């Protein structure tokens, strides 16, 4: 259920890498708790740049971005974990583990896998671990950058169903190239060109 409380508000955002070709000009977007908004667009249209702006890694030329606490799920789960530390160590580095067992159950994820190194897990298992880590950080806003693109179709569907279960406590802003996936799960789709 969508609440009236915005977890992300972008107003009149203007930004680009060159002054003569802004990626965004007066772009506005509001995302509420309980809502999933998907950003669709071809490579180079500014999808990942938008996440960099929201995260504060880039500064807009003009406009405002207001956000609640956020965490991110990245496209490639292998690159989002350090290869020589266990999954649980990497979760404990950024979040508490209170509620971890319940999340593992929600994600259909064996808690014993948290004791393993990233390369010992499949891509689907590691992406689930990535989502668990992101949610244990207690965000109100979840930025999901192509969270299922590295997974096969069956695992993609499972991971998306699991992500949608979290909507009771967060708002999700997702990037994807997959138009069918966007239509299936989104409350709103924003197309960039």
The total of structural domains in the chain comes to: 1
**How many residues does this entry show for the chain?**
193
Chunk the chain into consecutive blocks of 10 residues (it has 193) and report each block's average pLDDT, rounded to whole numbers: 82 93 94 94 89 96 97 88 96 92 87 96 89 93 86 75 81 91 92 87
Q: E strands along the chain, which residues?
A: 6-15, 24-32, 36-40, 62-67, 70-73, 141-145, 171-176, 188-191
6-15/70-73 β-pairing: unpaired
Q: What is the pLDDT of residue 136?
A: 93
CA distance 39 to 41: 7
Instruction: CATH number of the domain at 90, please.
Output: 3.40.50.300
Rg (CA), the chain: 17
Whether the CB-CB separation of 189 and 183 falls below 8 Å is answered with yes
pLDDT score recorded for residue 107: 78
Whether residue 48 lies inside any domain: the answer is: yes
Please tell me the predicted confidence (pLDDT) of residue 3: 59
Q: Say what the pLDDT of residue 150 is.
A: 65
- β-sheet bridge partners, residue 32: 6
Q: Which of 51, 55, 4 is nearest to 31 (CA)?
A: 4
3-state secondary structure of 39: strand
pLDDT at 74: 87
Position 148 scores a pLDDT of: 78
- The answer to whether residues 71 and 143 touch, using CB atoms and an 8 Å cutoff, is yes
Q: The pTM is what?
A: 0.89
**Domain around 153:** 6-191
Q: What is the reported pLDDT for 25?
A: 94
* 58 belongs to a structural domain: yes
The verdict on residue 138 lying in a domain is: yes
Q: What is residue 164's three-state secondary structure? A: helix
167/2 Cα distance (integer angstroms): 8
- Would you say residue 137 lies in a domain? yes
Residue 1 belongs to some domain of the structure: no
pLDDT at 1: 57
């Amino acid at each position: 259920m969508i609440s009236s409380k915005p977890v992300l508000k972008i107003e009149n955002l203007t930004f680009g890498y060159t002054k003569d070709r802004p990626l965004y000009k007066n772009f506005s977007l509001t995302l509420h708790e309980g809502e999933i908004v998907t950003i669709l667009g071809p490579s180079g249209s500014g999808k990942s740049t938008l996440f960099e702006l929201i995260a504060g890694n880039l500064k807009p030329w003009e406009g405002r971005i207001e956000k609640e606490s956020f965490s991110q799920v990245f496209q490639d789960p292998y690159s989002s974990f350090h290869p020589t530390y266990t999954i649980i160590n990497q979760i404990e580095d950024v979040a508490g583990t209170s509620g971890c067992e319940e999340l593992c159950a929600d994600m259909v994820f064996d808690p014993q896998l948290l004791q393993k190194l990233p390369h010992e897990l499949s891509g689907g298992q590691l992406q689930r671990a990535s989502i668990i880590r992101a949610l244990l950080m207690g965000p109100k806003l979840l930025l999901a950058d192509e969270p299922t693109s590295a997974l096969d179709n069956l695992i993609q569907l499972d991971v998306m169903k699991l992500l949608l279960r979290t909507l009771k406590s967060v708002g999700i802003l997702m990037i994807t190239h997959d138009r069918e996936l966007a239509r299936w799960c989104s409350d709103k789709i924003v197309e960039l060109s």
